[in-house]
Amino acid sequence: MILSFTKYHGTGNDFIMIDSTKDDSFYLSNEQIRFLCDRRFGIGADGLILIYKEKDFSFKMQYHNADGTQSFCGNGARCAVHFSHSLNLFTDKAVFLAIDGVHEATLNNDTVTLKMNDVEKIQKLASTFILDTGSPHYVKFTEDVATQNMVEFGKKIRYSSAYKEKGINVNLVEILDENQLKMRTYERGVEDETYSCGTGATAAALAYAEMEKQKEIDVNILVKGGALAIKAKREHGHFSSIYLTGPAQKVFEGKLII
């Protein structure tokens, strides 16, 4: 089979995009996805996204981590919006379906603003917060994240007895000032540090707001691949009107025999 694809990245979080709108039965096995995402033998990516047509929605996004497992991905969703716009699936505003439900998004040139689902619950353990922003996240506040061994720490938490079975994304966060954080992420499904994580940036911003008791959240998150912006509202530990904004950039197109 000859597979046509488009490569995207959102602040260094990179994805293989596949247009499946003409064949709603199109399927890739986990083995094929792992091959395509392999950085030496395949195209190379943190994840793979299939775009399908979906009645009453702009499109449906099916996201796979590099190991083939499915989840929601904030940066992947932003890139999916940009890609779907290029397929003429919507004009001004996208309303699309993902594994965690319905999302809305707008596109302004190469900047995508994505509405995330409300977050009802945050578990706090000292300087650590555990919450789900479409994917589960372990957020730990620390100093000088640049010197931390992210992979070693991430594996320690991700493969601990509490999270070994289902996995968890691990984020180390440094507070730069009241509106700016620096974050590094170890992602389950990739099983390595990634250059960015949209659900992780959202989790970091919400955890920071919970810690500081902020009602209006407007935070910039610096990641290895650039910067993301998070806006949200907090009331009695409930977070709503959560928006993730950042660049989505097309890198190249190609064809591959699989």
Mean pLDDT for the stretch of residues 65-69 = 97
Mean pLDDT for the stretch of residues 17-34 = 96
Structural domains for the chain: 2-116+248-257 (3.10.310.10), 122-243 (3.10.310.10)
Q: What is the pTM of this model?
A: 0.96
* Exposure class string for 111-136: b at 16+ Cβ within 10 A, else e: ebbbbbbebeebeeeeeebbbbbbbb
Give the number of other CB atoms < 10 A from CB of residue 44: 14
> DSSP label at 209?
H
Residue 226: CB partners within 8 Å, gap ≥ 6?
A: 11, 12, 196, 246, 247
Q: How far apart are CA 204 and CA 258, in angstroms?
A: 38
Residues classed as catalytic: 73, 197
Residues 99-121: pLDDT tens digits?
Answer: 999 999 999 999 999 999 999 99
The pLDDT, as a whole number, for residue 140 is: 98
Residues 121-143: pLDDT tens digits?
Answer: 999 988 899 999 999 999 999 99
Query: Radius of gyration of the chain from Cα atoms?
Result: 17
> DSSP label at 238?
E
